[in-house]
Amino acid sequence: MGHDHSHSHGSHDHNHAHGANERRVFWAMILTASFMVAEVFGGIISGSLALLADAAHMLTDAAALGLAWGAFRIARRPADKRRSYGYDRFQVIAAFVNGLSLIVLVGWIFWEAFERMLTPSPILAGPMLAVAITGLVVNIIAFFILHGGAKDNLNIEGALLHVIGDMLGSVAAIVAAIVIMQTGWTPIDPLLSVLVGLLILKSGWHLIKKAIHILMEGTPDAFDIEAMQEDLRENISTISDVHHVHVWLLTSEKPLLTMHATLAEGSDHSQALNDVKAYLNKHYDLDHTTVQIESECID
């Protein structure tokens, strides 16, 4: 887990990955937006709610990808006097808004499905099937474009959840079209839309929870502060105690830490500081730490 490269090299890597993520999101956005236009026409011509729901989904997708892309652009801005941490957090806000938009979208799908159940309308299964299959192909391409991006970037995850939800939507539309072709039973169309809606709801909620955790300065997942304190006490001879530890996330990939450490008797202040910072970097992958060294209280 430990990286022994210097901080400057790390941030260079980060910027490079950042640029690649940004390009991925941009192309996925162009792809979904252009196909969405085709899908709206397909949905209107065939009269399929599954297609229109999928197109609406593609619209929020394109918007979500646009938001993710914008967040990457803004996050590149350097820190300034008013934003001493820089603009990285904007990605988390984008992910949060994306999560909310998924939930609003599901509400719309449920409402439309309910209306359709009450008053079923005729559906042209042929055009519906053709458009749905094309949609699936487009989504799979977008998925692979994004999937190469950073695994732990919440912004990419948000964009990816939209695309996965969309893939499910296309699959549902394909199944509905085939069922209607075979049996003429049109309620399958709104029923499958609702099923997809439930899946989208789950992933939207998951994304919102993660984003809120970061915005609330939550501790990184699987990070045990007490175990880390114990670890430092045992392994660093120059300090005797560790307290006031705060670990939080600037974005899902950038943890920050502040802590106080008590200097062991006869140890050198700056040596202790170096020991602690080096240990945190090597064993906990924390390269942004603020450590306050205090002398033992002498009665």
Split into its structural domains, the chain has a count of: 2
pLDDT higher than 60, residue 188 = yes
Quick one: 207 and 238 in the same domain?
no
HEC letters along the chain: CCCCCCHHHHHHHHHHHHHHHHHHHHHHHHHHHHHHHHHHHHHHHHCCHHHHHHHHHHHHHHHHHHHHHHHHHHHCCCCCCCCCCCCCCHHHHHHHHHHHHHHHHHHHHHHHHHHHHHCCCCCCHHHHHHHHHHHHHHHHHHHHHHHCCCCCCHHHHHHHHHHHHHHHHHHHHHHHHHHHHHHCCCCHHHHHHHHHHHHHHHHHHHHHHHHHHHHCCCCCCCCCHHHHHHHHHHHCCCEEEEEEEEEEEEECCEEEEEEEEEECCCCCHHHHHHHHHHHHHHHHCCCCEEEEEECCCCC
Same-domain check for residues 121 and 236: no
Determine contact, residues 149/24, Cβ cutoff 8 Å.
yes
The whole-number average pLDDT for the span 165-169 is 82
With respect to residue 1, please indicate whether it lies within any of the assigned structural domains.
no
Is residue 166 located within the same domain as residue 72? yes
Reading the block at residue 7, the tokens are 């901080």
Same domain for 178 and 49: yes
pLDDT at 72: 79
- In a shared domain, residues 231 and 209: no
Is 151 found in the same domain as 15?
yes
- Give the domain range for residue 229: 225-294
Residue of 3 and 67 predicted with greater confidence:
67
Task: Give the confidence band of 12 by pLDDT, cuts at 50, 70, 90.
Answer: low
Mark which of 175, 196, 215 sits at the end of a domain: 215
User: Does a structural domain hold residue 2?
Assistant: no
> What CATH number does residue 274 fall under?
3.30.300.30
Domain end residue (candidates: 195, 215, 235): 215
Residue 299 lies in a domain: no
pLDDT at 299: 41
Chain mean position to CA 23 = 16
The whole-number pLDDT of residue 2 equals 43
The pTM of the whole model exceeds 0.75: no
Asked whether residue 171 falls in the same domain as residue 271, the answer is no
Residues 118 and 40 in one domain: yes
* 88/127 same-domain check: yes
pLDDT above 50 (res 67): yes
Whether 71 maps to a domain, the answer reads yes
Is residue 27, in this structure, part of any structural domain at all? yes
Assign residue 148 the CATH number of its domain. Answer: 1.20.1510.10
| 3 has a pLDDT exceeding 70 | no
Q: Are strands 239-251 and 254-263 parallel, antiparallel or unpaired?
A: antiparallel
Q: Are residues 121 and 52 in the same domain?
A: yes
Q: What is the pLDDT of residue 36?
A: 77
Structural domain includes residue 104: yes
Render pLDDT for 201-240 as a digit per residue (tens, 0 to 9): 887 888 888 888 888 888 877 778 888 888 888 887 788 8
% of the chain exceeding 70 in pLDDT: 88
Query: Based on the domain organization, do 145 and 35 belong to the same domain?
Result: yes
The verdict on 162 and 278 lying in the same domain is: no
What pLDDT band is residue 7 in, cutting at 50, 70 and 90? very low
Query: Domain ends where: 161, 184, 215?
Result: 215
In a domain, 82, yes or no: yes
**Quick check: is 276 in a domain?**
yes
Question: In the predicted model, is pLDDT for residue 130 greater than 50?
Answer: yes
Residue from 178, 146, 148, 141 nearest 161 by CA: 146
Pick 76 or 48 by higher pLDDT. Answer: 76
- 281 versus 76: the higher-pLDDT residue is 281
